[in-house]
Amino acid sequence: MADTFQNVSNRQNPADNWFLVVPGAGDLAITPRGVLCSAVGDITMQDRAGTVMTLTAVAAGTVLPLRPLKITAATGTFYGLY
């Protein structure tokens, strides 16, 4: 998994690219700088420490300032921002 931004101190700049999140058991191909919800739904993510977090009823238009290693489930539409 590529983590292009691991040494970047300011991650507040706009994203240049994005990818549609396809939930699965494997690591994301790119570690995103954030996750955008474009259609309301739930999302289950795992961080590098193995901690799993589920967010429910994430509103469309919400940008989650999180950098998940994996996205294992989603019922809405989510994009990884990088």
Residues 2-25, mean pLDDT to the nearest whole number = 78
Q: Quote the pLDDT of residue 81.
A: 95
pLDDT by residue (tens digit) across 39-61? 999 999 999 999 999 999 999 99
Contact 82, 29 (CB under 8 A): no
Confidence check: pLDDT of 8 > 80: no
The token duo for 49 is 């420490």
Contacts of 50 (CB under 8 A, 6+ apart): none
Q: Which residue has the higher pLDDT, 33 or 2?
A: 33
Residue 9: helix, strand or coil by DSSP?
Answer: coil
The token duo for 68 is 């998940």
Confidence check: pLDDT of 80 > 90: yes
